[in-house]
Amino acid sequence: MSGWFRRLRRRPDPPAPALWAEVRRRAAWVGRLDAARDARLQSLAAHFLHDKTITPVAGLELDETRRALLAALCCLPLLEFGAEGLHGWRQLIVYPDAFRVNRSHVDAAGVLHEWEDELIGEAWESGPLILSWADVESDLAEPDGGFCVAVHEMAHKLDALDGVLDGTPALPRDWQRRWARDFQRAFDGFVARLERDEATALDPYAGEAPEEFFAVCSEYHFSAPALLARELPAVADHLQRFYGHSPFADRALPR
């Protein structure tokens, strides 16, 4: 019985060397990792490919390389957090392009409002993660542009692990208290700037809600960390600790 259990819990094999070399070539965030973090990401990606169902829809086809790329991008935010960040959901759904979802809301007067949203990504708290492949490719083509939809949606998954989607992931108590204080202060300041119609260096979508602020800042940590550090130094410090060293930390600020 014990031998059977060990076989059942055997770690999945890492991606084949040639396949991973192609992932490193196409994803600059991966290609810039040092050897230790690259090995860690390979292990995480192997868990992802073994444990998650990747479902292309609307005519999209995903070959082995595309699936490995998706696994690597989704696991980038887990380099320090670990495979525990993959808990609580089973499926990645991938559309060829932006997709539409139906929304509804009952206001305080009891009136039902219904509308459609066009999205490039979505993360359900206890359901699938959904991505637009066209936007994943766009991020891969401009890895230092401030955007990475896979990181954004995985930040929501990490945020939801403690049962509350509020921009504060599960952390040790003292750190969580400092995180909540610093992020709330930065979020309030960012929203105040938007309300004054001031231009912001970061995507204004960060002002939608605290959870979106965390997810958007997570994108900048990986793709434009110098810009994030200049605009929101306290937030950048927390994300540096949470995610580890950004692959683009040595890049100069965009002009």
Q: Cα separation of 47 and 45, whole Å?
A: 5
Enter the pTM of the model: 0.89
Distance CA 99, CA 116 (A): 10
Q: How far is 37 from 169, CA to CA, in rounded Å? A: 22
3-state secondary structure of 119: strand
Q: What is the pLDDT of residue 110?
A: 59
Q: How many CA atoms lie within 13 Å of 221's alpha carbon, on the beta-carbon side?
A: 25
- Pairwise CA distance, residues 98 & 116, whole Å: 12
Residues with Cβ within 8 Å of residue 179, at least 6 apart in sequence: 168, 171, 238
Tens digit of each residue's pLDDT, the chain (255 residues): 444 444 445 689 999 999 999 999 999 999 999 999 999 999 999 999 999 999 999 999 999 999 999 999 999 999 999 999 999 999 999 999 987 665 454 546 655 545 456 778 899 888 999 999 999 999 999 999 999 999 999 999 999 999 999 999 999 999 999 999 999 999 999 999 999 999 999 999 999 999 999 999 999 999 999 999 999 999 999 999 999 999 998 755 444
Domain ranges of the chain: 2-243
The candidate with the shortest Cα–Cα distance to 242, out of 144, 159, 121, is 159
pLDDT for 2 equals 43
- The C-alpha atoms of residue 143 and residue 28 are separated, in whole angstroms, by 6
CATH 1.10.472.150 fits 2-243, yes or no: yes
Residue 111: what pLDDT? 56
125 Cα distance to chain centroid: 14
